[in-house]
Amino acid sequence: MIQKHDASSLHYDFRLEVGGVLRSWAVPKGLSTDPRDKRLAMPTEDHPMDYIDFEGVIPKGQYGGGPVIVWDNGTFENTTTRKGTAIDLAQALDAGHATVWLEGRKLTGGYAITRVATGKDERWLVVKMKDEAADARRNPVGTQPESVLSGRTVEDLVEEDG
Ligand code: MN
């Protein structure tokens, strides 16, 4: 699942269920459907599974204060292989490279996630793989801003919150 989160800066929280928790990355520009786009992803804390349908406004002053919607959700399959052998997703992420096949409401198809820097400034890149779901013109982040659960946007949530 992917949350759109308008905190101190707008970002998309990309979360994959791995070993009973949600492994998470903050992706400032969101995931692209264009294989030429390399989207920066900063790892964040694992989140518990019950966060999977969280929408709401985190109060100002709290960590991550601001509106959150469920921008996309669905199932995924780990497709990581090395030399033709399937690799467990937790192991693949520990090694710094995994591929997944998403079956989301907005995003589908293969994505590669690769660690490009370690340590205090750990950084990953998320890239759409070349398959039938790749589309350089679609721009779902720009054209489909609404929640897949409620149809609301982060702006709607702020208005409702007063
Ligand atoms: Mn966030």
Q: pLDDT (tens digit, 9 = 90+) per residue, 18-71?
A: 999 999 999 999 999 999 999 999 999 999 999 999 999 999 899 899 999 999
Q: What's the CA-to-centroid distance between 40 and ligand 1, angstroms?
A: 14
* Mean per-residue pLDDT over the chain, rounded: 96
Q: What is the domain extent for residue 14?
A: 2-161
Total domains in the fold of the chain: 1
Model pLDDT, residue 12: 98
Model pLDDT, residue 154: 97
Q: What's the CA-to-centroid distance between 57 and ligand 1, angstroms?
A: 12
Q: What's the CA-to-centroid distance between 29 and ligand 1, angstroms?
A: 12
Q: Are strands 10-18 and 21-27 parallel, antiparallel or unpaired?
A: antiparallel
Contact 88, 76 (CB under 8 A): no
Q: What's the CA-to-centroid distance between 129 and ligand 1, angstroms?
A: 24
Q: What's the CA-to-centroid distance between 130 and ligand 1, angstroms?
A: 28
Question: Please, what's the b/e burial string for 29-60 (b: 16 or more CB within 10 A of its CB; e: otherwise)?
Answer: ebbbbebebebebeebeebeeebeeebebbee
Q: What's the CA-to-centroid distance between 31 and ligand 1, angstroms?
A: 14
Q: Where are the alpha helices (DSSP H) in 66-150?
A: 89-95, 140-143
Across-strand partners of 11?
A: 5
